[in-house]
Amino acid sequence: MDRRGFLRAATGVAAGIGFSATVSARPARATPAAMDEAIRKVVGAAPVTKGRVTLDLPPLSENGNAVPLAVRVESPMTPDDHVRAIHVFTEKNPQPDVASFFLGSRAGRASVATRIRLADTQTVIAIAQLSDGSFWSASATVVVTLAACLEDG
Amino acid sequence: MASALINVPERARRGEVIEIKTLVSHPMETGYRRSQVGAPIPRDIIRRLVCTYNGAEVFRAELHPAIAANPFISFFTVAAESGTIAFHWTGDNGFTAMESVAIAVD
């Protein structure tokens, strides 16, 4: 083997080791399939319709450790017709569940806000459960430049 | 003891929809991180916030590790009558924190 060939082979091996080390150092990831499963656990067999829910997330976040999230649901919030719960799920965090908020007709307005962690650029889904048993959803994609959960501490 | 910040208007008209903002100090350790020697850091998070208005539950939140450290949660409620709005956080390792504020409704 000549010198050039040797160097090329050595770089390939080094790159291979580096790559596998990076992959194994990452925590387990939820997958879109895991998210679907988590959603099914909440909604059961009921259909989830897009609409009535507004999910506010920044399109680009520099820091995945605290991403502002706000969910609003169009609802008169009367005893007969109100939002019972709002559930938030992510696609690629280590686990798909983010939070569940339980409201009632006494909330007056179906609107909640918090700050969440995002481990990667991904889609976030908010699902509202109404008093008539129907489910409505909205989704948003956030580009994350500094991911949460991956840094050692 | 964890410190909590609550923002609720002191006075409101009867039937007015008021915003409630809560913030509590807590690291919200996810359980997915490792220490510098590679040992997994056990999960330590707040699991639940319950808000009661004169004893009746008006809001509840179930939290998971994806909630950022020092959980901030805001929501709305109808100012029904004068009294106390109480907040109760509970979490891993026996974590518990309580806070209450008075509201005057005209």
Give the pLDDT confidence of A40-96 residue by residue, as tens digits.
Answer: 998 888 899 999 999 999 999 999 999 999 999 999 999 999 999 999 999 999 999
- C-alpha distances in angstroms, B17 versus A111, A128, B58, B100? 11, 20, 13, 19
Would the pLDDT of A19 be above 50? Answer: no
Planar angle of CA A146, A72, B24, nearest 5 degrees: 60
- Cβ-Cβ contacts under 8 Å, A98 against chain B: 64, 66-67
Radius of gyration of the CA atoms of chain B, in A: 16
**β-pairing, B11-12 with B96-105?**
parallel
Contact A78/B at CB under 8 A: no
Q: Mind telling me how many Å the CA of B1 is from chain A's nearest CA?
A: 22
Per-residue pLDDT of chain B (106 residues; tens, 9 = 90+): 568 999 999 999 999 999 999 999 999 999 988 888 989 999 999 999 999 999 999 999 999 999 999 999 999 999 999 999 999 999 999 999 999 999 999 8
Edge-to-edge strand ranges of the sheet holding B17-24: A53-56, A67-73, A111-116, B72-78, B17-24, B4-7
Q: What's residue A26's pLDDT? A: 47
Quick check: A125 pLDDT over 80?
yes
* A56 at B interface, C-beta within 8 A: no
Residue from the list A104, A109, A114 with its beta carbon closest to the beta carbon of B73: A114
Instruction: Give the per-residue pLDDT at B1.
Output: 55
Task: Report strand pairing: B83-91 vs B46-53.
Answer: antiparallel
Backbone torsions φ then ψ of A39, nearest 5 degrees: -65, -45
The pLDDT value given to residue A34: 87
- Checking if the pLDDT of A151 tops 60, the result is no
Q: Give whichever of A1-5, A27-31, B1-5 has the largest mean pLDDT.
A: B1-5
Q: What is the percentage of chain A residues whose pLDDT exceeds 90?
A: 59
Tell me, what's the pLDDT at A146? Answer: 83
Q: Which structural domains are found in chain A, ordered by start?
A: 29-146 (2.60.40.2470)
Q: Which helix (DSSP H) or strand (DSSP E) does residue A11 occupy?
A: helix A3-25
- Residue A153 has a pLDDT of 38
Give A-chain residues touching B64 at CB under 8 angstroms.
Answer: 95, 97-99
pLDDT at A54: 96
Complete domains list, chain B, with CATH: 4-105 (2.60.40.10)
As given in the structure block, the two tokens for residue B59 are 């809001």
Strand partners, B52: B57, B86
A vs B, Cβ pairs < 8 A, gives 107
Provide the pairing of β-strand A60-63 with A135-146.
parallel
pLDDT for the residue numbered A150:
59
Residue bearing the bigger pLDDT, A9 or B100 = B100
Instruction: Spell out a b/e string for B40-56, using b for 16 or more CB atoms within 10 Å of the CB, else e.
Output: eeeebbbeebbbbbeee
Residue B73 tokens, joined = 């949660």
Alpha carbons A142 and A118: distance in angstroms, whole number: 9
Closest of B66, B47, B64 to residue A119, by C-alpha: B66
This prediction's pTM: 0.84
**Average pLDDT taken over every residue of chain A:** 84
* Cα gap B6→B21, rounded to integer Å: 6
A108 interface with B at CB cutoff 8 Å? yes
